[in-house]
């Protein structure tokens, strides 16, 4: 019978996977590892927990094919995990909302639609989601780049993921980080960490790569 601490960690891991797979069918192992590190969970403890969950059938391994490469990804931190079909979170259908918007705003949305090749509804929904996130996490904004939209830390020029990886590289030591990066402020570091804890998917490494300073963890 698992100990209370083991059962607690198993519940945490299943909750992270369930929350993430509400948006996507799989969670990259790299994302799970990064999220656990943000929470201060030992890599070996995470690996043992994932192995136990897979053996007991509460998680399953998936091997997604890298786009354009046509081969399975089977390296340590580049595989992915999923819940059994019976445990998958059901994504609720989107509500339809009819609103009147000023002509100037509609033109701005239309310009973004043309730039992205997306639909007006999708662009408007993304704008509302980003607005809600900025209200919930002051100090976070969103910008476009070569890799698409990304969450950034206002006034730093850094992505949330970049700042969180710097924080992890400093052993989660806020004082050490601020000593090495005197242009950063405590509130900026805390804003990045708070946002990343609620959105672990932003720390996912690109397929086949490993974030700088983050060793592979076999799970």
- pLDDT per residue as tens digits for the range 181-200: 999 999 999 999 999 888 87
**Eight-class DSSP state of 65:** B
pLDDT for position 110? 83
Residue 92: pLDDT over 60: no
Phi then psi dihedrals of residue 144, to 5 deg: -95, 150
Q: What is the pTM of this model?
A: 0.59
pLDDT for position 201? 72
CATH of domain 4-87: 1.10.10.10
- pLDDT per residue as tens digits for the range 6-65: 778 888 888 877 776 555 567 778 777 877 887 788 888 888 888 888 888 888 887 644
In this prediction, residues 165-179 reach a mean pLDDT of 92
Q: Show Cβ contacts of residue 149 under 8 Å, excluding neighbours closer than 6 positions.
A: 126, 130, 142, 143
Q: Which residue has the higher pLDDT, 64 or 149?
A: 149
Phi then psi dihedrals of residue 62, to 5 deg: -130, 150
Q: Which residues pair with 148 in a beta bridge?
A: 145
Domain boundaries, the chain: 4-87, 98-132, 133-203
Beta-carbon count within 10 A of 54 CB:
14
Is residue 174 a contact partner of residue 186, using CB atoms and an 8 Å limit? yes
Is residue 89 a contact partner of residue 21, using CB atoms and an 8 Å limit? yes
Residue 32's Cβ-side half-sphere holds a number of Cα atoms within 13 Å equal to: 34
> What's the CA gap between 203 and 36, in Å, rounded?
11
Beta-carbon count within 10 A of 173 CB:
12
């Amino acid at each position: 019978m698992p100990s209370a601490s083991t059962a607690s960690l198993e519940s945490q891991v299943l909750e992270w996977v369930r929350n993430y797979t509400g948006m996507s069918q799989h969670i990259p192992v790299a994302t799970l590892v990064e999220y656990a590190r943000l929470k201060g969970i030992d890599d070996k403890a995470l690996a043992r927990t994932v192995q136990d969950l897979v053996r007991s059938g509460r998680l399953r391994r998936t091997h997604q094919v890298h786009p354009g490469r046509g081969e399975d990804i089977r390296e340590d931190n580049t595989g992915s995990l999923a819940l059994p079909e019976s445990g998958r979170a059901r994504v609720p259908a989107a509500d339809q909302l009819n609103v009147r918007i000023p002509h100037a705003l509609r033109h701005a949305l239309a310009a973004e639609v043309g730039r992205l090749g997306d639909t007006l509804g999708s662009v408007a929904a993304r704008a509302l989601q980003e607005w809600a996130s900025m209200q919930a996490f002051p100090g976070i904004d969103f910008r476009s780049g070569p890799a698409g939209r990304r969450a950034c830390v206002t006034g730093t020029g850094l992505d949330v993921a970049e700042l969180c990886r710097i924080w992890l590289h400093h052993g989660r030591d806020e004082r050490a980080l601020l000593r090495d990066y005197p242009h950063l402020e405590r509130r900026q570091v805390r804003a990045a960490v708070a946002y990343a804890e609620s959105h672990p998917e932003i720390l996912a490494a690109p397929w086949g790569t490993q974030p700088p300073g983050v060793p592979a963890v076999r799970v």
